[in-house]
């Protein structure tokens, strides 16, 4: 059987797509068909904020796209990377955590799986007297973290 999967293909360096691999193990051929067109915006603003880690208490990544945007903005200078690594860098999911590690950063929360569970981890770990956490995200993000961390 041939299966059409309506999803974005994984990047070549992150290994085979798990859906294609799983379907193949059951004798099916799968083809990925991207369904969304994506464009990064406000990269200059993102870049400016990334080079001012002293204004933030840490970072939150809830998607591989956010990590990709950060990667596009940075040619990491070790001093900036070290400043971010001195702070908490929260992630949702193993794929996002792996991409954050590829940037040379140390993620926390990769086993949380959802923004709601991650919000509990952040609330338990963070002091209310730190600067706000920096949360690079898209315009269609869910409001779970914003509502839980407010």
Using alpha carbons, select from 76, 48, 7, 14 the residue that is nearest to residue 136.
Answer: 48
Q: Where exactly are the structural domains of the chain?
A: 2-33, 43-149
For the stretch 37-59, pLDDT in tens is 778 888 999 999 999 999 999 99
Residue 7, pLDDT > 60, answer yes
Taking residues 67-91, report their average pLDDT. Answer: 87
Q: Which residue has the higher pLDDT, 112 or 35?
A: 112
Using alpha carbons, select from 88, 135, 92 the residue that is nearest to residue 111.
Answer: 92
Backbone angles phi, psi at 105, to 5 degrees: -110, 160
What proportion of the chain, given as a percentage, has pLDDT over 70?
93
Contact between 149 and 123 under an 8 Å Cβ cutoff? The reply is yes
Please state which architecture CATH assigns to domain 43-149. 3-Layer(aba) Sandwich (3.40)
Q: 107: which DSSP letter? A: E
Question: 102 pLDDT band (50/70/90 cuts)?
Answer: very high
């Amino acid at each position: 059987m041939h299966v059409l999967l309506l999803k974005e293909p994984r990047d070549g360096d992150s290994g085979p797509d798990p859906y294609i691999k799983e379907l193949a193990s059951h004798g099916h051929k799968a083809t990925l068909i991207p369904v969304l067109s994506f464009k990064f915006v406000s990269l200059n603003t993102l870049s400016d904020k990334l080079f001012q880690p002293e204004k933030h208490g840490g970072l939150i990544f809830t998607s591989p796209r956010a990590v990709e945007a950060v990667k596009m903005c940075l040619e990491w200078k070790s001093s900036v990377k070290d400043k971010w690594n001195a702070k908490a860098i929260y992630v949702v999911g193993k794929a996002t955590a792996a991409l954050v590690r590829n940037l040379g950063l140390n993620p926390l929360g990769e086993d949380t799986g959802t923004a709601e569970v991650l919000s509990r981890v952040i609330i338990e770990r963070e002091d209310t007297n730190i600067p706000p956490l920096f949360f690079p995200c898209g315009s269609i993000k869910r409001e779970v973290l914003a509502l839980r961390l407010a």
